[in-house]
Amino acid sequence: MTAVTAAPAPIQEHAHQQAVDAGLLVHRAYPLNAETPVHALTGGDVTSTDHFYVRNHFDIPDLDTADWRLTVTGRVQHRLTLDLDDLYKMRSRTDLVTLECAGNNRIAFDPKVPGEQWRLGAVSAAEWTGVPLADVLDRAKLTSPAREVVFRGADRGRVDGRAETIRFERSLSLDDMADSGALVVYRMNDAPLPRQHGYPLRLVVPGWYGVASVKWLTEIEVLDHPFDGYFQTARYRYAWLRDGHTVTEPVRRQRVRAVITEPSYGQTLSCGDVLIRGLAWSGDAPIADVRVRVGRRPWQSAHLLGHPYRHGLRRWELCTRVDEPGTATIQARATDLTGRAQPDQPEWNPLGYGANSVQTVTIHLL
């Protein structure tokens, strides 16, 4: 059984200092929550590990690979206890995957909602290396009536409304996992996972909001019934009032979004050709189109750049001419291949998830 303790204060402080030194916007130090500056997302297809956003619900746990183990239990023929060497010997795969916090752009909601007031930088992309989750489960051999798989991290703490200490845990149904391409990951950007990103092992679920990608993974349990853990049922659910009734829905795939990375908000430019650049992504399908509008001019299609990684950040740009001096606004709207497009306003919900409305950047022209 893996020993589960919070990392000592110096480790928490070190992770915080690393975020500060990298120029991340720190919303909270303990537990560490920090977002990537938008300009740091523009260097290429992969976000550097130092600039990768950090979302933690509890303090970073102190795990030593000497006694760390991953257990697989529940509705399986073979209970597994795996160490890192066992995982290293299994078939590995490296995927470029974008992770995004479900609360990204929470600051856009009006009226305001509780939670970290993320701007647009709670998103990053990395190359993740690990073992396909399907291979781990095949080795354990699921038995009937397996229904859901729970993933438990070593991080733990207290939450509102619960007297006891709880661990961070989430589940996926077997149907969700079938085509998810999920990995149990031990390397990030061709280096061992850093502590703040899940060392020594984490789950990565492409296309899903980051809550599904459990960090500091120590246990996988196969259930024959729906999982009702705190972060499955009390949090990470949309809720809307419709026809006098509250309708809820679980947070699942990343909603389609475009972010303008250049020019920056409030920047002063000379009249003439204006180069507009940005990124777009969607958990449901590849990006089909990004359209850009300056002021009240007609929308124009931007050029999609780079390799169309299925779960990467798609770069785009548009060069347009603006000869009128004064203040101007720039907007960008992405559409994916399913036809999903960004709304003008975020769909308000009390916990502030999925705020993928069109971004507006104001610039000044001389």
- Render pLDDT for 236-254 as a digit per residue (tens, 0 to 9): 999 998 888 899 999 999 9
Say if pTM beats, i.e. exceeds, 0.85. yes
CB 305 within 8 A of CB 312: no
β-strands 314-322, 245-250: how paired?
A: unpaired
The pLDDT of 264-287, averaged and rounded, is 96
Least confident of 4-13, 87-96, 220-229: 4-13
Q: What is the pLDDT of residue 3?
A: 53
The pLDDT of 215-233, averaged and rounded, is 97
Own/partner contacts of 38-43, CB < 8 Å, gap of 24 or more, are 38/119, 38/120, 38/121, 38/259, 38/260, 38/261, 38/264, 39/261, 39/262, 39/264, 40/121, 41/121, 41/123, 41/124, 41/259, 41/261, 41/279, 41/313, 42/261, 42/262, 42/277, 42/279, 42/315
How many degrees, rounded to 5, is the angle at CA 341 between CA 336 and CA 343?
Answer: 160
Query: Where do the domains of the chain lie, and which CATH numbers do they carry?
Result: 9-250 (3.90.420.10), 257-365 (2.60.40.650)
The pLDDT of 127-138, averaged and rounded, is 98
CB 36 within 8 A of CB 47: yes
Grouping H, G, I as helix, E, B as strand and the rest as coil, residue 323 is coil
User: Residue 28, Cβ neighbours under 10 Å: how many?
Assistant: 12
Averaged confidence pLDDT in the chain: 95
Q: Which residues contact 312 (CB under 8 A, 6 or more apart)?
A: 45, 96, 97, 98, 125, 281
Q: In percent, how much of the chain has pLDDT > 70? A: 98
